[in-house]
Amino acid sequence: MQAATATATLESFNPATGERLGAVEITPPEGVQSVVDAVARVQPVWAQLPLSERARYMERAGQALLDESDEIRDLIVGEQGKPRNEAFSMELLPTIDALHWIASDAQQILADEKVPMPQLFLKTKRAAFTYEPLGVIGVISPWNYPWSIPFGEVALALMAGNGVVLKPASLTPLIGERIAQLLERAGLPEGLVRVIHGPRTGSALVESSVAKVFFTGSVQTGRGVGEACARRLKGSVLELGGKDPMIVLPDARLEHAIAGAAWGGFANAGQTCSGIERVYVASEVAERFIDGVVERARALRVGDPMEWETEIGPMVSREQFETVRELVDDAVAAGASILCGGPVDPPAGLEGDFYAPAVLTGVTHKMRIMREEIFGPVLPIMVVDSEEEALALANDSEFGLGASVWTSDRAHGERIARELQSGMVWINDHMFSHGACQCSWGGVKESGLGRTHSKFGLYECVNVKLRVWEPSAVRNPWWHPYDETLGKALRQTAAVLYGRPALRAAALKQGVGPLLKLGGRLARDAARR
């Protein structure tokens, strides 16, 4: 829960205890453009650095994060509510690794790239793709992964030579501030990354002169961001959530699938865009699978996220808690069965909103819980009679972020993966690849547009420019003057180069005369230079 005070500050509270953690100054919407302008004054100096120098700063940032990891881990636990082990494994470790991957691989990805020119009539030319920074990039980040999501996008933008204005979620403002502080401690130019706060600053950032916006959040808000950027003829990368399906085939290693379902459905208290939100299990193994998931769900420890043994922390806010409860109550009223879990009283000494991991059966696609994002520790399971039914149900969604298939047959799993409508498919795993920056991240349908991470995320941060060198020894044969000789030479050249093999000899014979005349003309022209 957050509140803007009379002194124009945004207060931050611990979702487990209700304790006030601190406050940040709200940026008035009319002041956002001046922040962007200030970053734009610093960015050209940063852009002049060679890739190797920018890479060194990324490495320093990774080391600084490792040095301060205990303190930052506990800040994430305190402000967002995920357990300590998850704060490190799902937020800090992926960021440290991403910074090292960016420092090593991005130098090659963003280096000038030679473009082959195999065409006979272009042999004198030398071409390359160059990757130029866009300028200032806006990053609007969510509360569920308040460190790893924005930091990864900020780091990609910086490595590509851009400056960044970061607008963190209003539920986690202190974490956003810490990102900028850490980068400055790593030696990056002061003011290259600026942080803004407030309930209306996100839209002001979109409407500002930033060259591109990376947004992670709801479909409704993301659609507005995309439309506003399009009106201004600038790009946006939108990650708008998901409703990830898990398909469990009869030949799956069941214990592995059960463990994966529990982690994929309940980690971060289920508050994950690519968490497992729908399970389709083959009837042959359904009873054992459901029993195993229920057993694991009941064993997960709900409690203070600062305790090392805690596996399920509080919901981030009362609003999110009520959303989860409403969706589950709606499903039960429509005929679903809740086998375990649900709202629980806060553990001793805590005041937050806690929801124990819940498993539902008897659900159908007519229920809201199978169509809307739950964003809580709830796992609805449907029993299916065939692989075809599972695929049809998995694709029956407006979302398409991630999906997983669980089978012992790799080739079979890959065939199903090709049929799934999603940006990522994992076989015998789920959602881990957000922690591997070399892997692309993004979805299809209403899960968004564009990609973060990987080489494709780097390409989102640059202008791809083509640069061509022509030595000027001979003019292009298709230049003026035009005449019949030119027309015949071009026609027969195309037939020789691209025509059916049986016709090439005839085309060459017919084109010899025009080609010789054209060649003589070009040679005389070159001699006069």
For 77-94, the pLDDT digits (tens) are 999 999 999 999 999 999
Distance CA 55, CA 437 (A): 15
Give the pLDDT score at 3.
Answer: 47
Residue 294 — pLDDT band, cuts 50, 70, 90?
A: very high
Residue 150 has pLDDT above 70, yes or no: yes
Residue 7 — pLDDT band, cuts 50, 70, 90?
A: low
Give domain status of residue 442, yes or no.
no
Least confident of 60-74, 128-142, 502-516: 502-516
Is there a single domain that holds both residue 375 and residue 506?
no
User: Which residue, 117, 113, 9, 100, is CA-closest to 55?
Assistant: 100
Give domain status of residue 321, yes or no.
yes
Is there a single domain that holds both residue 173 and residue 293?
no
Give the pLDDT score at 190.
Answer: 96
Half-sphere exposure of 118 (CA within 13 A, CB side): 2
Give domain status of residue 16, yes or no.
no
Beta-ladder partners of 406: 248
Give the pLDDT score at 260.
Answer: 98
Distance CA 245, CA 425 (A): 10
> Omega of the bond prior to 481 within 30 degrees of 0, cis?
yes
Give domain status of residue 102, yes or no.
yes
Is there a single domain that holds both residue 217 and residue 267?
no
Is there a single domain that holds both residue 258 and residue 226?
no
Give domain status of residue 1, yes or no.
no
Distance CA 434, CA 430 (A): 10
Is there a single domain that holds both residue 411 and residue 505?
no
Is there a single domain that holds both residue 412 and residue 495?
no
Residue 527 — pLDDT band, cuts 50, 70, 90?
A: confident
Distance CA 353, CA 314 (A): 6
Is there a single domain that holds both residue 308 and residue 170?
no
- C-beta separation of 408 from 252 below 8 A: yes
Sheet arrangement for strand 462-469:
113-115, 126-133, 462-469
Beta-ladder partners of 452: 441
DSSP three-state, residue 476: coil
| pLDDT, tens digit, 9 for 90 and up, residues 189-219 | 999 999 999 999 999 999 999 999 999 999 9
- Residue 229 to residues 32, 119, 220, 458, 506, Cα–Cα distance (Å): 16, 38, 15, 19, 55
Q: Say which residues have a Cβ less than 8 Å from residue 72's Cβ, sequence separation at least 6.
A: 65, 92, 147, 178, 182
| 176 token code pair | 């956003």
Is there a single domain that holds both residue 94 and residue 181?
yes
Residue 1 — pLDDT band, cuts 50, 70, 90?
A: very low
With 0-12 CB in 10 A as exposed, 13-18 as middle and 19+ as buried, what is 436?
middle
Is there a single domain that holds both residue 275 and residue 288?
yes
Residue 485: how many other CB atoms lie within 10 Å: 17
Residue 478: how many other CB atoms lie within 10 Å: 11
What is the tally of structural domains in the chain? 3
Is there a single domain that holds both residue 228 and residue 252?
no
Distance CA 368, CA 512 (A): 72
Is there a single domain that holds both residue 231 and residue 321?
no
Q: Say which residues have a Cβ less than 8 Å from residue 406's Cβ, sequence separation at least 6.
A: 246, 247, 248, 249, 252, 253, 256, 257, 260, 413, 427, 428
- What CATH number does the domain containing 411 carry? 3.40.309.10
Residue 509 — pLDDT band, cuts 50, 70, 90?
A: confident
User: Which residue, 36, 284, 270, is CA-closest to 162?
Assistant: 36
Q: What is the mean pLDDT of the chain?
A: 96
Residue 55: how many other CB atoms lie within 10 Å: 21
SS (H, E, C) 287-344: HHHHHHHHHHHHHCCECCCCCCCCCECCCCCHHHHHHHHHHHHHHHHCCCEEEEEEEE
User: Which residue, 509, 260, 480, 279, is CA-closest to 374?
Assistant: 279
Beta-ladder partners of 361: 337
- C-beta separation of 242 from 399 below 8 A: yes
- First vs last Cα of the chain: how many Å apart? 76
Mean pLDDT for the stretch of residues 302-318: 97
Give domain status of residue 12, yes or no.
no
Q: Residue 501 is part of which domain span?
A: 484-527
Place of tokens 């109550």: 329
Distance CA 277, CA 324 (A): 12
Residue 5 has pLDDT above 80, yes or no: no
Residue 117 has pLDDT above 60, yes or no: yes
Q: Say which residues have a Cβ less than 8 Å from residue 271's Cβ, sequence separation at least 6.
A: 82, 144, 315, 316, 320, 375, 376
Give domain status of residue 478, yes or no.
no
| pLDDT, tens digit, 9 for 90 and up, residues 374-424 | 999 999 999 999 999 999 999 999 999 999 999 999 999 999 999 999 999
Helices (H) and strands (E) in the chain, counts: 17, 18
Give domain status of residue 24, yes or no.
no
Is there a single domain that holds both residue 498 and residue 388?
no
Regarding beta strands 354-361 and 337-344, do their DSSP bridges make them parallel or antiparallel, or are they unpaired? antiparallel
Distance CA 399, CA 442 (A): 11
- What CATH number does the domain containing 220 carry? 3.40.605.10
Give the pLDDT score at 4.
Answer: 47
Give the pLDDT score at 473.
Answer: 85
Place of tokens 């202008």: 463
